[in-house]
């Protein structure tokens, strides 16, 4: 008979959470909300070569880097995923994710649907969450309100969103981001994290 006072609490490996969804669905708003709360999440910021928008902060919204710098990291295979979207490069720095996971911290990254597909191949044990707009009409309204897209680019993004929505089956979870429902969407994401930590068969992330 084993020692009866032995703790039955099992160590839970850290999670690697991929938050994705079409452009304009509200990924940034969700991340901002999660960042404002007390939780154990480590946010790894995506690098991009796209120009910074006036309201954006380097290192918070994105890490804005030059094309030369980005390509150097790509050549060294130091990006977890990289994709050219609308002419700009986006990528998740691998080392930052590895460092956080090594410290036992749960990592969350925001990537477009194309990026999520790439990460899925490298780290299939990550938790893939697709943020879904209530409707395409609503998504169009949000993109228009953002003032950053000119009408032709807007049409491209809406068409892309339709294509991206077809990729939802590759994800583990789909979270609706209803109008005014940032709190609800954020709390669903937190519930997913809690539930994932209770899995009998934990996900084990091994990054190459």
> What are 83's strand-pairing partners?
90
- Listed residue (160, 159, 188) closest to 174, CA to CA: 188
Residue 133 sits in the site that holds its own copies (CB under 8 A): yes
**What whole-number distance in Å separates Cα of residue 44 and Cα of residue 106?**
10
Residue 120 sits in the site that holds its own copies (CB under 8 A): no
Lookup: tokens for 26: 């509200």
User: Given the structure tokens 């960042």, which residue do they identify?
Assistant: 35
Size of the site for its own copies (CB under 8 A): 41
Lookup: tokens for 95: 């080392």
Q: Is 108 helix (H, G, I), strand (E, B) or coil?
A: strand
Residue 162 sits in the site that holds its own copies (CB under 8 A): yes
Residue 171 sits in the site that holds its own copies (CB under 8 A): yes
Residue 154 sits in the site that holds its own copies (CB under 8 A): no
Residue 8 sits in the site that holds its own copies (CB under 8 A): yes
Nearer to its own copies, 109 or 158 (CB): 158
Contact range with its own copies by CB under 8 A, out of 56-64, 66-74, 94-102, 127-135: 127-135
Question: Length of the chain in residues, anyone?
Answer: 208
Q: Which residues contact 120 (CB under 8 A, 6 or more apart)?
A: 18, 126, 128, 170
Nearest distance in Å: CB 205, its own copies: 18
Q: Are 184 and 99 in contact (CB under 8 A)?
A: no
Residue 130 sits in the site that holds its own copies (CB under 8 A): yes
174-203 binders of its own copies (CB under 8 A): 174-176, 187-188, 190-192, 194-196, 198-201
Instruction: List interacting residues with its own copies (CB under 8 A).
Output: 1-2, 4-10, 129-130, 132-137, 140, 158, 162, 165, 168-169, 171-176, 187-188, 190-192, 194-196, 198-201
């Amino acid at each position: 008979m084993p020692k009866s006072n032995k703790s039955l609490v099992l160590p839970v490996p850290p999670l690697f959470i991929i938050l994705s969804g079409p452009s304009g669905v509200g990924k940034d708003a969700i991340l901002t909300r999660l960042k404002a709360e007390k939780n154990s999440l480590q946010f790894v910021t995506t690098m991009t070569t796209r120009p910074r928008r006036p309201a954006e902060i380097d290192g918070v919204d994105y890490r804005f880097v030059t094309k030369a710098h980005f390509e150097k990291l790509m050549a060294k295979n130091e990006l977890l995923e990289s994709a050219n979207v609308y002419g700009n490069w986006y990528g998740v720095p691998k080392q930052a994710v590895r460092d956080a996971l090594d410290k036992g911290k749960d990592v969350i990254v925001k990537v477009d649907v194309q990026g999520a597909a790439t990460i899925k191949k490298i780290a299939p044990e990550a938790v893939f969450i697709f943020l879904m707009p209530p409707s395409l009409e609503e998504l169009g309204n949000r993109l228009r309100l953002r003032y950053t897209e000119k009408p032709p680019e807007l049409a491209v993004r809406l068409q892309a969103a339709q294509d991206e929505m077809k990729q939802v089956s590759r994800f583990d979870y789909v979270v609706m981001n209803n109008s005014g429902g940032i709190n609800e969407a954020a709390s669903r994401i937190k519930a997913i994290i809690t539930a994932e930590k209770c899995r009998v068969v934990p996900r084990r992330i091994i990054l190459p």
